[in-house]
């Protein structure tokens, strides 16, 4: 019997446009890396086996730890919600070239506190690499408009998320810790390419058009690399970045994957969206006010 796959366990195509592939593209081969919230080791495996990095990994969930220890020789079972987790790691391993948190900080109560400890673990040339889900994606806003945060076991509304980030929030997260972004990439998914495709298609066209007017409406994840602000010569402002279009082949692939998700009739076939345009009054009532106005005008003229 094959071993059961963990929820966050997946193969990574390094040439794909996914967030893990973009995270890996920012890491130089042979680097010393701390990966926090490493899960079952999907990214760790590539760092160790393909990029030949020296990796220290941190995770708290037991089933993930079992898999992670098969990949990485140095693993810490640490809870990021308990600040001070970095002291033991720094004492044993010193500073790092990269400290990575790929889709992790949305799961912790104090992302700023965690980032502060990540920053302090960097060596003189080191960088923090974050991947964060974009809470302002138009498909998520579509769920909100339809009065149903569609929580799942994965994705933008993973039921274990406790923090949500807009584009400005990502920038401010770094700024609050005296850091600046040196490199950033957007993972772009149209609503039809997301887990919310069924709900999105049921929204009225005018609602969908309104939600798509946000320039960042299709940004699914933000992947960024940052350093202390005084070490960054040309800081990146996320709000000034161009959102690239999705390649047709990539779009077709994700549309085919997401269109195969099961539908839950109890929640997916109902909508709260209604047409708020008031019905036109009966023709007789519509002109009654005008008749009264004209009658008053005639009296004034004749008088």
DSSP letters of 121-152? TEEEEEEEEEEEEBTT-HHHHHHHHTT----B
Rounded to the nearest integer, the mean pLDDT of the chain is: 87
* Share above pLDDT 70 across residues of the chain, in percent, rounded to a whole number: 79
- Enumerate residues 6+ apart whose C-beta is below 8 A from 293: none
DSSP letters of the chain? -PPPPPTT-----TTSSSHHHHHHHTS-TT-EEEEES-TTSHHHHHHHHTS--EEEEEE--HHHHHHHTTT-SEEEE--TTSTTTHHHHHHHH--EEEEEEES-GGGSS-HHHHHHHHHHTEEEEEEEEEEEEBTT-HHHHHHHHTT----BSSSTTBTT----B-HHHHHHHHHTTTEEEEEEEEEE--GGGSTTHHHHHHS-HHHHHHHTTSTTTTEEEEEEEEEEGGG-SS---GGG---PPPPHHHHHHHHHHHTTSPP-HHHHT-------PPPPPPHHHHHHHHHHHHHHHHHHHH-
Flag whether pLDDT at 162 surpasses 50: yes
Domain 19-277 superfamily per CATH: Vaccinia Virus protein VP39 (3.40.50.150)
Q: How far apart are CA 105 and CA 110, in angstroms?
A: 8
Q: Give the range among 37-46, 95-104, 287-296 with minimum mean pLDDT.
A: 287-296
Average pLDDT of the segment spanning 150-166 = 90
Domains of the chain by residue range: 19-277
Flag whether pLDDT at 251 surpasses 80: no
Task: Say what the pLDDT of residue 212 is.
Answer: 95
Task: Say what the pLDDT of residue 283 is.
Answer: 58
In DSSP terms, which residues pair with 158 in a beta bridge?
152
Between these two residues, 219 and 269, which has the higher pLDDT value? Answer: 219
Task: Say what the pLDDT of residue 151 is.
Answer: 87
pLDDT tens, 267-299?
444 445 455 455 555 555 555 666 676 666 666
Between these two residues, 61 and 290, which has the higher pLDDT value? Answer: 61
For residue 245, the SS3 value is coil
Flag whether pLDDT at 12 surpasses 60: yes
Instruction: Give the dihedral of Cα atoms 29, 10, 55, 26; nearest 10 deg.
Output: 40
pLDDT band at 153 (very low <50, low <70, confident <90, very high): confident
Flag whether pLDDT at 249 surpasses 70: no
* Share above pLDDT 90 across residues of the chain, in percent, rounded to a whole number: 69
Flag whether pLDDT at 255 surpasses 90: no
Average pLDDT of the segment spanning 25-36 = 98
CB atoms within 10 A of CB 177: 21
Write the burial class of residue 153 (CB in 10 Å: 0-12 exposed, 13-18 middle, 19+ buried): exposed
Q: Please state the separation of Cα 94 from the chain's center in Å.
A: 31
């Amino acid at each position: 019997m094959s071993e059961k796959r963990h929820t966050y366990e997946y193969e990574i195509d390094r040439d794909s446009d996914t967030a893990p592939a973009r995270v890996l593209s920012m890491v130089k081969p042979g680097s010393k890396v701390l990966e926090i919230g490493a899960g079952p080791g999907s990214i760790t495996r590539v760092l160790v086996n393909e990029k030949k990095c020296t990796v220290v990994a941190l995770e708290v969930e037991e089933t993930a730890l079992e898999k992670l220890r098969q990949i990485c020789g140095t693993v810490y079972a640490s809870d990021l919600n308990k600040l001070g987790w970095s002291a033991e790691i720094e004492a044993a391993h010193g500073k790092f070239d990269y400290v990575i948190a790929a889709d992790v900080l949305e799961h912790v109560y104090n992302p700023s506190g965690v980032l502060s400890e990540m920053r302090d673990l960097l060596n003189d040339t080191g960088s923090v690499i974050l991947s964060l889900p974009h809470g302002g994606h138009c498909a998520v806003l579509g769920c909100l408009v339809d009065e149903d945060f569609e929580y799942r076991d994965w994705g933008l509304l993973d039921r274990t998320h406790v923090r949500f980030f807009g584009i400005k929030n990502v920038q401010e997260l770094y700024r609050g810790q005296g850091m600046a972004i040196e490199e950033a990439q957007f993972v772009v998914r149209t609503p039809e390419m997301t887990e919310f495709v069924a709900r999105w298609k049921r929204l009225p066209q005018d609602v969908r058009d309104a939600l798509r007017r946000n320039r960042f409406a299709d940004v699914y994840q933000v992947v960024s690399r940052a350093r202390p602000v005084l070490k960054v010569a040309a800081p990146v402002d996320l709000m000034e970045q161009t959102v690239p279009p999705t390649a047709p082949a990539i779009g077709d692939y994700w549309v085919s994957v997401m269109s195969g998700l099961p539908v839950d009739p109890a929640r997916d076939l109902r909508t709260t969206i209604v047409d708020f345009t008031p019905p036109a009054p009966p023709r007789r009532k519509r002109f009654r006010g005008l008749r009264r106005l004209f009658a008053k005008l005639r009296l004034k003229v004749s008088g």
